[in-house]
Amino acid sequence: MFDEERQGYEKLSLFPDDREIPADAVDSLHVKMSGLELRRPRLFGSCWLACELWQQLGLQEFWDGRLRGGRESVSWEKVLQLLVVNRLLHPGSEFHVNRHWYVTTAMDTLLGTDFAVAEKDRLYRCLDQLLEHKQELFQWLRQKWADLFQAEFEVLLCDLTGTYFEGEMEENPKAQSASLEPHRK
């Protein structure tokens, strides 16, 4: 803390052990920092931001009614949002999302779902739902790009390719050069 009268700094403890909580303090709590313990830390901030980007791009509006419903307990739109957030933040296979990534994030809270959204077969089947809407999606995103950035263009190119190697294949020199080498023109 900076004391203006003395023109100097003084170190204050946020939760001092040497004093009791004043009697007139309302809604107070004495916290013993050494007794705190971190359990199941999960990635939240970047996931939240990616979900906000999903909303800003109007993708919930776009997919609403386009993805076939069914008797599933979790909508395809939520499964797709999970996959998109994963590709944006930590690209990997659907298997990796199912086995590792989902449980290290707060996507369950952000999507309001349980682990059913990341069930391996559902992740794979979700991609099949998208094919028939590919052209509409490109047109939607092109229009969003133009609206958000007042961009004028005749051609918009985007690279949607990706290659992922997992397991022992990650150590293969040819796999490393194929996935890490920059594209040359």
9 in a structural domain: no
Q: In this predicted model, which residue has the larger pLDDT, 184 or 49?
A: 49
pLDDT at 67 exceeding the cut of 90: no
- Categorize the per-residue pLDDT at 34 as very low, low, confident or very high, splitting at 50, 70 and 90: confident
- List 8's β-bridge partners, or say none: 3
Distance of CA 63 to the CA centre of its chain: 18
Contacts of residue 57, Cβ cutoff 8 Å, sequence gap at least 6:
141, 144
25 in a structural domain: no
pLDDT at 182 exceeding the cut of 50: no
**Segments in 29-172 forming alpha helices (H):** 45-56, 59-63, 76-89, 94-96, 107-111, 120-130, 134-149
Q: What tokens does 48 get?
A: 């939240």
151 in a structural domain: yes
pTM over 0.75: no
156 in a structural domain: yes
Per the structure, how many domains does the chain have? 1
- Predicted pLDDT at 50: 97
146 in a structural domain: yes
163 in a structural domain: yes
Domain that holds residue 110: 45-174
28 in a structural domain: no
- Categorize the per-residue pLDDT at 177 as very low, low, confident or very high, splitting at 50, 70 and 90: low
- Predicted pLDDT at 179: 41
Contacts of residue 67, Cβ cutoff 8 Å, sequence gap at least 6:
75, 76, 77, 80, 129
Q: What is the tens place of the pLDDT at every residue in 91-150?
A: 888 999 999 999 999 999 999 999 999 999 999 888 888 888 988 998 898 899 888 888
Contacts of residue 178, Cβ cutoff 8 Å, sequence gap at least 6:
163
14 in a structural domain: no
Which whole number is the average pLDDT over 31-57?
A: 90
Look at residue 9 and give its three-state secondary structure.
strand
Which whole number is the average pLDDT over 21-25?
A: 78
Q: In this predicted model, which residue has the larger pLDDT, 161 or 24?
A: 24
Alpha carbon dihedral 137, 121, 53, 114, in 10-degree steps, equals 140
